Amino acid sequence: MKQMSCPDFSDCSTFVSAVCVHQLHTSSTEPASSSYNGLYPGHIHTTPIQKALLAVGSGVAALRDPYRHDMVAVLGEATGHFALINLRDRMKNDPEGYTILTERPRIRLSTIDVAKMASLPEGSFGREYVRFLEDNHVTPDSRADVKFVDDEELAYVMLRYREVHDLMHTLLGMPTNMLGEVAVKWFEAAQTGLPMCAFGAALGPLRLNASRLQTLVTSLGPWALRNGLRARFVLNIFYERRWEQSLEDLRQELNIEPPPVILSAAKKMST
């Protein structure tokens, strides 16, 4: 394998891309019997050293611009192996979670009926999810495919986490502005143990102004952590079968309190 040179960290997205291109090139020279060949479409095998480089480059890029979805995605994949094993095992040990792992549902515009969900009664989970998408100008199709997770089942767990992220915003009543994203990351960090979530929860507050930081520290933060620790495991819910359930009832089932503060919708896209 050729030695990989280290690009200029002033452009971290270029750095991460260089790792991808390098690995794609070396993968093309590997024999077809390679243990990582064909794990899933788009998979790029990386060594521990390459994962560390990806984590550093994507982490710096995500810190500079938290709305860089691609860099946040790479950071999650490069650092999440052990957490993903734990998440997968928790899903396997729950009847509903096991069904999700078996059926592999996807949340995409091609798999959900947005028009039908928009016609559901006010207060239903599906209707509130569509309202969240409209108010925050986001789409479920914005979620990046998994590339750097070297296990097909764990790759799906990561993908499922990404595709239910906007559902977490809906359940928690949080928009996609920076304060809302940080509150969701605090909840997700407590729920999942993913290093990427802890990274966002710890460093996200640095981008808040004094007023929003006070709201996070005194109200939203403690609420998000408390609910993240005590709520039912969110990856064990087959949300596609809950669209008609009321948001209030679903919150009660998951042991999630309504938000203590109502935030207005954001203009930027969810991460």
- To 10 degrees, the CA torsion angle through 185, 188, 192, 193? 30
Q: Is the pLDDT of residue 59 over 50?
A: yes
Q: Is the pLDDT of residue 5 over 70?
A: no
pLDDT at residue 3, as a whole number = 39
**For 26-30, 130-134, 247-251, which range has the lowest pLDDT when averaged over its residues?**
26-30
Q: Mind spelling out the 3-state secondary structure of the chain? A: CCCCCCCCCCCHHHHHHHHHHHHHHHHHCCCCCCCCCCCCCCCCCCCHHHHHHHHHHHHHHHHHCCCCHHHHHHHHHHHCHHHHHHHHHHHHCCHHHHHHHHHCCCCCCCCCCHHHHHCCCCCEHHHHHHHHHHHHCCCHHHCCCCCCCCCHHHHHHHHHHHHCHHHHHHHHCCCCCHHHHHHHHHHHHHHHCCHHHHHHHHHHHHHCCHHHHHHHHHHHHHHHHHHHHHCCCHHHCCHHHCCCCEHHHHHHHHCCCCCCCCCCCCCCCCC
Binding residues: 165-166, 169, 181
Q: How much is the average pLDDT of 12-20?
A: 51
Give Cα 155 distance to the centre of its chain: 12
Instruction: Give 270's pLDDT tier (boundaries 50, 70, 90).
Output: very low
**For 56-60, 65-69, 173-177, 232-236, which range has the lowest pLDDT when averaged over its residues?**
65-69
Q: How much is the average pLDDT of 186-209?
A: 95
Instruction: Give 271's pLDDT tier (boundaries 50, 70, 90).
Output: very low
Domain boundaries, the chain: 48-254
Binding residues for Zn(2+): 165-166, 169, 181
Instruction: Give 16's pLDDT tier (boundaries 50, 70, 90).
Output: low
Q: How much is the average pLDDT of 103-109?
A: 97
pLDDT at residue 33, as a whole number = 40
Instruction: Give 67's pLDDT tier (boundaries 50, 70, 90).
Output: confident
Distance CA 133, CA 70 (A): 20
Q: Which residue has the higher pLDDT, 10 or 45?
A: 45
Q: Is the pLDDT of residue 55 over 60?
A: yes
Q: Which two tokens stand for residue 142?
A: 């914005």
**For 69-83, 173-187, 252-266, which range has the lowest pLDDT when averaged over its residues?**
252-266
